[in-house]
Amino acid sequence: AAFDTAYEEMRQTSGELKTLETKLQGKKELQRQVLAYAKTKLARDGLKAQKSPKARAAYRQAHESDFIIADAAARYFKAHGITRLPARKALQDEIEQLVSKKSGLYNTYQEQKQRFKELQTVKRNIEQILRREEPRRRKEQSHER
């Protein structure tokens, strides 16, 4: 019973850890996109300052790499349903909190894994002892008859 319980606890913690890692990766990707989008602000503002369509086209062509990055970030935000960008500080704090939680959960997982291995060893030892005892019992039973 303790063996099965230890296994279930380890499995549950492992699942929580995987969920947390997925969430953390998503937040890190969001942070990367927010930073990339913020870096292109000057180029985007410069485009708005251009008065004529010809000047806008020339400006856009001159800063094409910035606009490609900004467009990719905008597509990412749209695909993930983000209408308002999160504050960078709040996002960083959330990531740090998730990393801290992941670290604690990982330590718990390692402890549970160690306990499970110990129980597994105990179980194997008991089974081995019982297998050695089995032939002796059979001999004793056959001598009694």
Enter the tokens of residue 28. 């890190």
27-36, 44-53, 82-91, 136-145: lowest mean pLDDT where? Answer: 136-145
pLDDT of 2 = 87
Q: How many CA atoms lie within 13 A of 140 on its CB side?
A: 5
* Contact (Cβ atoms closer than 8 angstroms) between residue 95 and residue 27: yes
pLDDT of 11 = 95
The tokens 């402890």 sit on which residue? 111
Furthest C-alpha separation in the chain? 110
pLDDT of 145 = 58
Across the chain, how many H-helices and E-strands are there?
A: 5, 0
Enter the tokens of residue 53. 């369509």
Model confidence pLDDT, tens digit, residues 11-25: 999 999 999 999 999
Question: Does the pLDDT of residue 143 top 70, yes or no?
Answer: no
* Contact (Cβ atoms closer than 8 angstroms) between residue 112 and residue 10: yes
